[in-house]
Amino acid sequence: ETGVTQTPRHLVMGMTNKKSLKCEQHLGHNAMYWYKQSAKKPLELMFVYNFKEQTENNSVPSRFSPECPNSSHLFLHLHTLQPEDSALYLCASSQGRDRFTYEQYFGPGTRLTVT
Amino acid sequence: AQSVTQLGSHVSVSEGALVLLRCNYSSSVPPYLFWYVQYPNQGLQLLLKYTSAATLVKGINGFEAEFKKSETSFHLTKPSAHMSDAAEYFCAVSAKASRGNEKLTFGTGTRLTIIP
């Protein structure tokens, strides 16, 4: 595997379900990100982890719970979601704050549908 | 604070014609600027970046962009459009942070359609 991978690619869940999204980066990066991409809206940054520490929570509802066990893996735990949470969830990684290399590398995304 | 404005949510050009996608930014500190492309059902792929070196930046797939500080612009161009260029394009700005991780602010995207 190369780059940033995300599983599953598609997920349909009911509002009472609990599910998790997984992201893995194979680039040796130290920072990882979750974004939400909804139709006709700008890309929304949700969470940022740097060296496994959460450094940003962009006022995300508590029904979204991130977890970063190490610099290569990032999870997004989902529970009691709402239909408006249906979107494409993108994971990204970058080298991290101590290097002036700002480009982020994105995974293919998980298309989430909440019914 | 930083922001990005992409003029035109939809742009259509004929195959072989010039592609011009517009991006204006606002940043209180010297910015880093990026263009990303997103093909259907895929994530974002970096096309090119400006990080305070040369103002004319060349990227993948024949795209280039010019940083113009006086106009606060970073427009994306390609001399001759190809059918495979049909996608959504995002401009993004990141400001150097004295501490903490970098943060990208994205524009709303421009959907490029290529007319055969």
Which tens digits make up the pLDDT trace of B20-69?
999 999 987 778 899 999 998 889 999 999 987 789 999 999 999 999 99
Reduced to 3 states, what is the DSSP secondary structure of residue B3?
A: strand
Give the tokens for residue B111: 């959907």
Give the tokens for residue A91: 């994971």
Residue A51, phi-psi category: left (phi > 0), alpha (psi -120 to 50), beta (remainder): left
Q: A30-80: per-residue pLDDT in tens?
A: 889 999 999 878 889 899 888 888 877 888 999 999 999 998 999 999 999
Residue B95 confidence (pLDDT) above 80: no
The pLDDT value recorded for residue A2 is: 79
Q: What is the DSSP string of A33-91?
A: EEEEE-TTS--EEEEEEETTEEEEE-S--TTEEEEEEETTEEEEEEES--GGG-EEEEE
Give which of B116, B51, B32, B46 is closest to B81, Cα–Cα.
B116
Amino acid of residue A66: P
Distance from CA of A99 to the nearest CA of B (A): 9
Of A93-102, B44-53, B71-80, minimum mean pLDDT range: A93-102
Output A100 or A82, whichever has higher pLDDT. A82
Output B59 or A95, whichever has higher pLDDT. B59
Q: Which of A101, A103, A112 to mutate to test the interface with B (most CBs of B within 10 A)?
A: A103
Using pLDDT thresholds of 50, 70 and 90, give the confidence band for residue B98: very low
Using pLDDT thresholds of 50, 70 and 90, give the confidence band for residue A96: low
Partner residue facing B107 (CB), from A40, A42, A56: A42
A67 Cβ contact partners less than 8 Å away, ≥ 6 residues apart: A74, A75, A76, A77
The interface residues of chain A toward chain B in range 42-101, judged by CB-CB distance below 8 A, are: 42-43, 45, 48, 50, 55-56, 90, 92, 94, 96-97, 100
- In order of B11, B58, B85, the CA distances from B18 in angstroms are 11, 16, 12
Angle value at C-alpha A97, between B72 and A44, nearest 5 degrees? 60
3-state secondary structure labels for all residues of B47-98: EEEECCCCCEEECHHHCEEEEECCCCEEEEEECCCCHHHCEEEEEEEEECCC
Mean of the per-residue pLDDT values of chain B = 90
Reduced to 3 states, what is the DSSP secondary structure of residue B25?
A: strand
